């Protein structure tokens, strides 16, 4: 693990990590969303190492990271005007666009699909690494598949020590949930995975934007995070959705019941509600009026419950507006769609 300045990464550290990428190795590095596990996107053997390290199913596509918009033309066979508009508005940033792939991108990187998912991150460490490596970098989240995504280098070490050549420690991630994945291969842009760029922001630029029906339970994956259970701590997670007062009452009732059964209970509350709970291990995930505080803390709180030995996590739902859509997508998947909806 090598500490790097998140704003001005040391050239010698970046050069060392870039040499690993060029030689077909694995480097974990920070982005503004979560830490990524990177390899040469154009090297099928290197991409396979990502799947091995993460214990990730090989039909689950990898996102390809680039350091400048001009690189996209090498990776996609058809770049529509819509993509250019989005790149101008949201790159660098937490938006991934899905396009028809070019012959340069191996199927081992795209999970066997004829499409490729590409983004340009805005984290200085990520951009420096891609630029110095001289190749696009395939990088899913740097965790064991199915676990909460890593938002610190410590999280990466916890999951992947001994499975990765270098971890670049650039401090905590800002957004805390992965990028938005937007499919541009059809007539209407479709969100395959909500993330750091909100639906409202996309609609302000594009007009009509649809949500993929596969977001509910996952069908054939066009995007990372669609098909398999994701983001789960060791504890069982139950999400309680509905009016905030009803959530507090139901979670209080469940916490007392589970505690009486001898279970160690954790409650994922918010700034507005944490004072209402008297039973269980209560952690605040953030402020309902500032969704970025919730997205940036979500995965770290799930991991903290594991460290505390919690067996049952009772989590409050939040409104699905703005970043709330991405938060609830991750939370429901962490729970394996174990949800109570209240009126």
Residues contributing to the annotated binding site for ATP:
56, 60, 115, 141, 149, 193, 231
Residue set of the binding site for L-threonine: 33, 65, 119, 139, 179
3-state secondary structure at position 5: coil
| Separation between Cα atoms, residue 17 and residue 24, nearest integer Å | 11
| Separation between Cα atoms, residue 125 and residue 10, nearest integer Å | 9
Residue set of the binding site: 33, 56, 60, 65, 115, 119, 139, 141, 149, 179, 193, 231
**First-last CA distance in the chain:** 48
* Nearest-10 crossing angle of helices 291-307, 324-334: 20
Q: Please give the angle made by the CA atoms of 27, 31 and 34, to the nearest 5 degrees.
A: 90
* Pairing label, strands 190-193, 210-211: parallel
- Helix (H) or strand (E) holding 96, with range, is strand 95-100
Helices (runs of H) and strands (runs of E) counted in the chain: 11, 16
Closest Cα partner for 294 from 321, 263, 256, 254?
321
Please, which residues bridge with residue 238 across strands? 314
DSSP class per residue in 125-181: HHHHHHHHHTS-EE--BSS-TTSPPPSSHHHHHHHHTTT-SEEEE----SS-SPPEE
């Amino acid at each position: 693990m090598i500490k790097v300045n998140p704003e001005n990464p040391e050239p010698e550290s970046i050069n060392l990590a870039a040499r690993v990428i060029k030689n077909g190795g694995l480097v974990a590095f920070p982005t503004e969303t979560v830490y990524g596990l990177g390899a040469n996107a154009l090297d099928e053997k290197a991409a396979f190492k990502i799947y091995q390290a993460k214990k990730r199913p090989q039909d689950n596509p990898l996102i390809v990271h680039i350091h400048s918009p001009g690189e996209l033309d090498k990776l996609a066979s058809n770049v529509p005007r819509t993509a250019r508009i989005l790149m101008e508005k949201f790159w660098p940033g937490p938006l991934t666009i899905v396009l028809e792939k070019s012959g340069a991108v191996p199927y081992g990187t795209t999970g066997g699909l004829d499409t490729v998912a590409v983004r340009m991150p805005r984290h200085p460490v990520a951009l420096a690494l891609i630029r110095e490596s001289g190749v696009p970098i395939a990088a899913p989240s740097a965790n064991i598949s199915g676990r909460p995504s890593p938002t610190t280098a410590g999280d990466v070490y916890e999951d992947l020590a001994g499975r990765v050549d270098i971890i670049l420690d650039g401090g905590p991630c800002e957004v805390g949930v992965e990028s938005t994945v937007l499919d541009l291969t059809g007539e209407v842009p479709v969100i395959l995975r909500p993330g750091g760029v909100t639906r409202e922001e996309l609609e302000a630029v594009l007009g009509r934007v649809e949500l993929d029906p596969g977001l509910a339970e996952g069908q054939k994956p066009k995007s990372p995070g669609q098909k398999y259970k994701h983001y789960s701590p060791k504890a069982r997670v139950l999400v309680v959705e509905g009016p905030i007062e009803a959530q507090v009452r139901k979670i209080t009732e469940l916490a007392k019941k589970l505690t009486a059964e001898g279970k160690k209970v954790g409650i994922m509350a918010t700034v507005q509600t944490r004072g209402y709970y008297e039973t269980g291990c209560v952690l605040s995930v953030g402020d309902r009026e500032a969704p970025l505080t919730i997205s940036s803390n979500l995965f770290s709180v799930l991991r903290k419950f594991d460290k505390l030995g919690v067996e049952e996590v009772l989590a409050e739902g939040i409104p699905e507006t703005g970043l709330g859509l991405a938060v609830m997508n991750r939370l429901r998947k962490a729970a394996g769609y174990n949800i109570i909806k209240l009126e």
